[in-house]
Structure 1
Amino acid sequence: MGDIYGFDAFSPKQIAEKVDSIGVVKARLPLLSMVMLGILAGAFIGLGALYFVLVKSDASFSFATGQVLGGLSFSLGLLLVVVAGAELFTGNNLLAMAWADKKITTSELFNNWVVVCGANFIGATGLAVLVFLSGHTELNQGAIAEQYLKIAEAKCSLPFWTAFFRGVLCNVLVCMAVWMALAGRSVIDKSVAIIFPISAFVAAGFEHSIANMYFIPLAMLINVFGETGGSTVAESVTLLGFIGNLIPVILGNLVGGSVLVGFVYHVIYQRGQTPSKPEDK
């Protein structure tokens, strides 16, 4: 039990065992459940991003204050994923641990990543369309729309390797938030574990692939159909710019979550133990 640490929480060794067992369940979810939960996660992260932009659109904040408060607001996304229940690609990079322990197959691992990432895309972009149609971006005299354009332009202009390494650092913190949330037994425990790593990655300006699936499509809609359409404010916010951001960020998220968190903890806690063989498919 976790009380060896003086508080009611699971120990790191127990978390590693939970990550393995949860990974098996996640990898073998029925397809419809996996897709629907993935759509929810994409929308949940989008809601966190919406909250972040609302804070950032207030020009009265200093840079650090706006970043930190925005990061705290963005934490809503992972709180919804963990507490309400959903399948998030970046968090599911931890399935690499169950794969390394030979508890799921390579095909199960990649099937989960591809399906969940695609479903996250549907949820995040779908929310972007709804938010645009709602007129939300016109609030604060259009400052919210301008903030989306500014954010998306910065993301679409990132060099490949800058986006990649920002993706790596982002998902180290995201997966550590998920890891620590598994130590908690209550919603309050999980919330505290999530808020600090998530607010840190957002404040630092790191890159989250699923959040970008909300930010950039919404900026594209504003750029084309909003009042700023046709201007040069966000000329880099295009489909090619979107793809150019997603590819390195997804790759960076994969490395950060699966290698620097999942594989590292596999080596520390699980390597050398007798694995249970995955079921033949």
Structure 2
Amino acid sequence: MTQHHDQHHDAAPAPAVNVNALTPVETEQAVETAGVAKTRLTGRRAFVSAMFAGAFVGFGALFFLIVTCDDAMTWGPKRFVGGLAFCMGLVLVLTCGAELFTGNSLMVSDLAARKVTWRQMLRNWLFVWLGNFAGALLLVALVALAGTMDLNGGAVGDLAVATAASKVTPGWGTLFVRGILCNILVCLAVRIGFAARSVADKVLGILLPIAGFVAMGFEHCVANMFFLPMGLVSAMMGYGADAAGAAALDVPAILYNLSAATLGNILGGSLFVALAYWYLNAKKPGSALGWGRR
């Protein structure tokens, strides 16, 4: 009997590996756990991690400029291919690890669940926004020195100017709403990243939401931290002289766009994704919004 029991014990099946994505409730728990961890980063570490994210998204934006400066492509396919190229930025953020301001809108879930305070969240947002900008500006400087804007006979530099000009000429309200729409898709993509169990899942899952917001012409404040300074530097280097609205490109115009895009991104990600999914998946029946009170 003992021998039989031991053999039976030795032959116990190995635990099953679950390859399904996390459920929405499990994803919400993962989002909130990550949000609490973000508040524990020192300001310096949050800033450096955010510099990586700013540069990663900048690389995606540069990839977008490279593939869409080809005049032989028609408008729709060009937007789609450019959007797919831009996805490289968020792929790097989610798989290599970095603090991205737009994705950190999801920390509002933690605020509603009373897991973080307003002060902790806003402190993280400030360091991460500034770090994203610093990383993007560093990449702009390196790209300018690398002569990348001269590719395709200067068409990349011309497109950099035209793209930046197109982002500073619309009305502030228009840019704000584009920012809302953008970060709904970005934060949904980040939630897909949390739900995924492998790198392949993360990459495949985020491709369409991110390519979609780019193709639709929405405004992402961190991408614009690269697009706008790159356009201004390119104009100063002599590119894009014929681009519509190029004369409007200056530092106040960059801040004008970033103010609208940033506030729109915060509203889109926090209200329409973070709070909505917290309400659906984490909120206990009858509980009121906590808003960070302990």
Q: Identify which of 202, 223, 227 aligns with 2:238.
A: 227
The equivalent residue for 1:196 is 208
**Shift of residue 90, structure 1, vs aligned partner:** 0.1
Q: 1:159 maps to which residue?
A: 171
SS at match of 1:190: helix
Q: Select 2:57's aligned residue among 45, 68, 73.
A: 45
> How far apart are 1:158 and its partner, in Å?
1.4
Instruction: Provide the C-alpha distance between the structure 1 equivalents of 2:126 and 2:107, rounded to a whole number of angstroms.
Output: 13
How far 1:227 sits from its partner (Å)?
A: 2.5
Query: Residue 111 of structure 2 contacts residue 291 of structure 2 at CA under 8 Å; is this kept in 1?
Result: no
Report the AA paired with residue 251 of structure 1: L
Give ranges in structure 1 of 5+ residues lacking alignment. 1-5
Kept after mapping to 2: 8 A contact 1:166/1:207: yes
Question: Which of 244, 253, 276 is the matching residue for 2:265?
Answer: 253
Q: 2:124 corresponds to which residue?
A: 112
1:124-139 equivalence runs, <5 A? 124-139=136-151
Contact 2:43 2:124 in 1 (8 A): no
Cα displacement string for residues 173-196 of structure 1 (whole angstroms, at most 9, x for unaligned residues): 000000011111100001111111
* Structure 2 counterpart of 1:238, one-letter code: D
1:37 is displaced (CA, Å) by 0.5
State the shift of 1:232 in Å. 6.2
- 1:97–1:266 CA contact under 8 A, matched in 2: yes
Instruction: Point out 4+ residue stretches in structure 1 off by more than 6 angstroms.
Output: 273-280
Partner of 2:159, secondary structure, is: helix
Secondary structure, in 3 states, of the residue corresponding to 2:247? coil
CA distances 1:207-229 after superposition (whole Å, capped 9, x unpaired): 000000001101111112x1338
Alignment identity in percent?
37
| Residue of structure 2 equivalent to 1:12 | 24
1:277–1:49 CA distance, 2 compared to 1 (3 A): closer
In 2, the alpha carbon distance for the partners of 1:210 and 1:98 equals 22
Cα displacement string for residues 129-174 of structure 1 (whole angstroms, at most 9, x for unaligned residues): 1101110000100000000011000001011111001000000000
Q: Which residue of 2 aligns with 1:60?
A: 72
1:59–1:15: structure 2 CA closer, same or farther, 3 Å change rule? same
Match of 1:76 among 88, 91, 100: 88
With over 3 angstroms needed to count, the CA separation of the structure-2 counterparts of 1:277 and 1:54, relative to structure 1, is: closer
Kindly state the Cα deviation for residue 272 of structure 1 after the two structures are TM-superposed: 2.5
Deviations 1:42-91 (A, max 9, x none): 00000000000001100111000100000000000000000000000000
Please give the TM-score of this superposition, normalised by the length of structure 1.
0.93
Q: Equivalents in 2 of 1:277, 1:199: separation in Å?
A: 33
Distance in structure 1 (CA, Å) of the matches to 2:242 and 2:67: 24
3-state secondary structure, aligned to 1:222 = helix
| Cα distance between partner residues in 1 of 2:76 and 2:191 | 27
> Are positions 1:172 and 2:184 aligned together?
yes
CA RMSD of aligned residues (A): 1.9
Cα separation, 2, equivalents of 1:217 and 1:7: 42
Question: 1:21 — aligned with what?
Answer: 33
Residue in 2 that maps onto 1:34: 46
| Letter of the structure 2 residue corresponding to residue 217 of structure 1 | P
- The counterpart of 2:100, out of the listed 85, 88, 91, is 88
Residues 235-274 of structure 1: matches in 2 within 5 Å?
235-272=247-284
> Which amino acid in the other structure matches residue 13 of structure 1?
V
